[in-house]
């Protein structure tokens, strides 16, 4: 038997196997399309969304801690500046007091009063700066502990999220593989049943081969 172009189709046992194979391939292609769609909606999209939110959370915590650290350093610098200012005022007051002891005058007494006021003010400024620094330091430690716990929670959540999505992937993959295997089972069964002799007999019957038999010609 010979094929006659694109219209050629196998007959009987081989034809059944061939038809089943084409159907199974179409079914398998459909399953792969569904697998791709589910993979995108149930695995890829949730992971990408989680990644974007995770980055935002990390950036927010980073900025928060950076701002606290900047404030702490700024207030420490203010303490040092106020400490130096107090030392300068005390030194100025001491120098004016020594001048008064050498030469008494109303002008020197007034200068001493001004120097004493400035020294007292510098001391008050130093205490205020120290209080502000201590507040920042306390908040810094508190926020560091809180943020560390929150970062730990986010890391646990990140690992669990990835694990869940990978499990979802393997589940989808197993389902797809199982269906693919089930589509091939009928093909395997029909291939085992292919009978060349039966198919040849069918072809002969279909095409009426041997109906007209050669005979001796007498002249």
Q: Is 208 within a domain?
A: no
Residue 158 predicted with pLDDT over 90: yes
Is the residue at 42 inside a domain?
A: yes
Domain-located, residue 138: yes
**50 located within any domain:** yes
Residue 123 lies in a domain: yes
Q: Does some domain include residue 67? A: yes
Please check the confidence at residue 181 and state whether its pLDDT lies above 50.
yes
pTM for the model stands at 0.63
Q: Give the per-residue pLDDT at 2.
A: 38
Does a structural domain hold residue 158?
yes
In which element (H, E) is residue 191 found?
Answer: helix 106-192
| CA pair distance 216, 219, nearest whole angstrom | 10
Is residue 18 predicted with pLDDT exceeding 80? yes
Over residues 77-103, the pLDDT tens digits come to 999 999 999 999 999 888 877 776 666
Query: CATH number of the domain that 34 lies in?
Result: 1.20.1270.60
Structural domain total, the chain: 1
pLDDT exceeds 70 at position 76:
yes
- Between 216 and 136, residue with greater pLDDT: 136
pLDDT digits (tens, 9 = 90+) for 27-74: 989 999 999 999 999 999 999 999 999 999 999 999 999 999 999 999
For residue 202, pLDDT beyond 90: no
What domain range is 37 assigned to?
A: 12-201
């Amino acid at each position: 038997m010979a094929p006659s172009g694109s219209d050629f189709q196998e007959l009987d046992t081989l034809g059944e196997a061939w038809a089943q194979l084409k159907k199974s391939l179409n079914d398998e292609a459909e399953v792969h399309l569904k697998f791709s769609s589910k993979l995108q909606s149930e695995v890829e999209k949730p992971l990408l969304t989680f990644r974007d939110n995770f980055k935002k959370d990390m950036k927010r915590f980073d900025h928060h801690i950076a701002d606290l650290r900047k404030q702490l350093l700024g207030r420490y610098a203010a303490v040092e500046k106020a400490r130096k200012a107090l030392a300068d005022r005390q030194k100025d007051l001491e120098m004016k007091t020594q001048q008064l002891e050498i030469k008494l005058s109303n002008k020197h007494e007034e200068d001493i009063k001004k120097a004493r006021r400035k020294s007292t003010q510098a001391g008050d400024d130093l205490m205020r700066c120290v209080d502000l620094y201590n507040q920042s330091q306390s908040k810094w430690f508190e926020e560091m502990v809180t943020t560390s716990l929150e970062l730990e929670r986010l890391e646990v959540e990140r690992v669990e999220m990835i694990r869940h999505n990978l499990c979802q992937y393997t589940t989808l993959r197993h389902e797809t593989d199982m269906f693919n295997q089930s589509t091939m089972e009928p093909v395997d069964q029909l291939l085992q049943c292919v009978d060349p002799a039966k198919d040849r007999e069918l072809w002969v019957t279909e095409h009426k081969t041997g109906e007209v038999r050669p005979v001796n010609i007498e002249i």
